[in-house]
Amino acid sequence: MSEPITTWGAWDEATQNDPYPLFERMRAECPVQRVRLADGHEAWLVLGHVAAQQALKDGRLSKDIVAALDEDPDVVDPGLPGPAFARHMMNLDPPDHARLRRLVSRAFVPTRIAALEPSIERIARELLEELEAAGPESIVDLVEGFAYPLPFRVICELLGVPEEDRVGLRQSFRTLFQPWSGSPPPEAVAASDMIVASLRHLVATHREQHQDDLVGVLVTASDDDDRLTEQELLSSLFQLIVAGHDTTTSLIGNGVVDLLEHPDQLRLLREDPDRMPAAIEELIRFSAPVPHATFRVATEAVDLEGVEIPAHEQVLICLGAANHDPGFYDNPAVLDISREPRPHLGFGHGIHFCLGAPLARLEARIAFGALLGRFPDLRLAVDRRELRWTHGDGLVLRGLDELPVRLGQPA
Ligand code: HEM
């Protein structure tokens, strides 16, 4: 077995702020290679577009983290709140994956997502009004005031989380996802316990009184069909909140920076708002809010572009590198909202393709539309080099902790 040559993750600030030169160098060196992760585990890193697409749909690369932990507890870090909350679709293989995805999909049917549109527009408007009250030349934090609360409030509405519980829950998720190394700090454990207690309470109240929201749909699915266990129900709720807010926050935050840095592209978009859907796909490709897919474990030896991954080893697919593969995209390092559309891997691929993609696209369309439409003079309040992409682990999430801007006079 060859020695790991690079440590992957927990990068220095410069790499965290811009990992693309590293992605580029590693992919050019070899599209599939062995690395050591920051937690000490070893893994196979997939960086090329062809290999990434193949890996994402290869059933021999299992997502069943609990089985992998059973097999070899050292293979992967279970994270918080631990294996008891890890039985959701993102961590399962067929046939359980299909069963859970089918049940949860009931809450993601197009009519239910479309019905959220007025609420998302209202939330975007309210948040921007609050920011605007500071005055056009005041410095406001667009992450804290807009990019974070918008998707968080939307996922709370979709789930039916009562208003009075949202602030506490939001704070706990912020704490839980502060980066740490080694074992989790006490505040992260406390935040995780608080989230678990809130979710249990949410399910209990929905059992007492049925409501027509996502939790209501899932509770009914578990009661009527006896097909969703309590563990699967709670794990699914936890995963939906996690997958459903910080990701979109990063799309909005990273996307605003990208557009402000590329005034020609911003102008094109302002002149023709019909370009918005294409612009959103390009922003996801260009600066991946989710730079890597979640971990997979090989159940048997798998060949990826001529590199053999032995059984029981971890695989990490770098979507950010694959989405900048010059073998697949012309001028991949250029932000071009008019580029000839080619599918990107920013929402994954295969059976685990992002279930929330239609919701994320709708939220992004409304968020960018409301922000850019209302504030034609929006600009960064600090030098671009002062921005820090320190939110998230840089692997499955890459986002800004703060985005100081001046909104300028409203239109
Ligand atoms: C810009 C925003 C988003 C991005 C970039 C994103 C990205 C992804 C990616 C890359 C995966 C595949 C992970 C893998 O194969 O390991 C995924 C899966 C998933 N996402 Fe998203 N996501 C976003 C927003 C959302 C939202 C808003 C929701 C729900 C409210 C959501 C729910 C899910 C779920 C449930 C899965 C698991 C699907 C499965 O395993 O079958 N995501 N997402």
Profile the chain (411 residues) by mean pLDDT over runs of 10 residues: 74 92 96 92 95 97 80 62 82 92 89 94 98 96 97 92 91 83 84 91 91 87 69 90 93 98 97 97 96 95 96 95 97 96 95 98 98 97 94 85 96 90
Indicate the length of the chain as a whole number.
411
Residue 314 one-letter amino acid: Q
For ligand 1, atom 27: residue with the closest CA: 244
In the prediction, which pLDDT does 275 show? 97
Tokens of 52: 């990434």
Q: By the 8 A CB rule, do 241 and 90 touch?
A: no
Q: Tell me the C-alpha distance between 54 and 75, whole Å.
A: 22
Residue nearest ligand 1's atom 12 by CA? 348
Strand pairing category for 42-46 and 314-317: parallel
Cβ–Cβ < 8 Å for 62, 93: yes
User: Where are the domains positioned within the chain?
Assistant: 7-406
Residue 369 DSSP one-character state: H
pLDDT of residue 4: 53
Secondary structure element (H or E) that encloses residue 142, with its range: helix 142-142
Other Cβ atoms within 10 Å of 348 Cβ, number = 20
pLDDT at 132: 97
Using the atom order of ligand 1, give the atom closest to the CA of residue 294: 16
Please count the helices (runs of H) and the strands (runs of E) in the chain. Answer: 17, 11
Amino acid identity at 201: H
Residue nearest atom 36 of ligand 1, based on CA coordinates: 354
What is the best residue among 354, 361, 362 to mutate for testing ligand 1's pocket, by most ligand atoms within 8 Å of CB?
Answer: 354
Q: Which residues line the pocket of ligand 1, CB cutoff 6 A?
A: 56, 89-90, 101, 155, 240, 243-244, 247-248, 251, 284, 289-290, 293-294, 319, 346-348, 351-352, 354-356, 359-360
User: Domain 7-406's class?
Assistant: mainly alpha
What is the pLDDT, as a whole number, of residue 53?
98
Span from the CA of 133 to the centroid of ligand 1 (angstroms) = 34
Q: What is the Cα–Cα distance from 357 to 215, expressed in whole angstroms?
A: 19
Q: Among residues 290, 275, 282, 288, which one has the least CA distance to residue 369?
A: 275
Tell me how far the alpha carbon of residue 347 lies from the centroid of ligand 1, in angstroms: 6
AA letter at 104: V
Quick one: which atom of ligand 1 is closest to the CA of 104?
35
Considering the entire predicted model, what is its pTM?
0.94
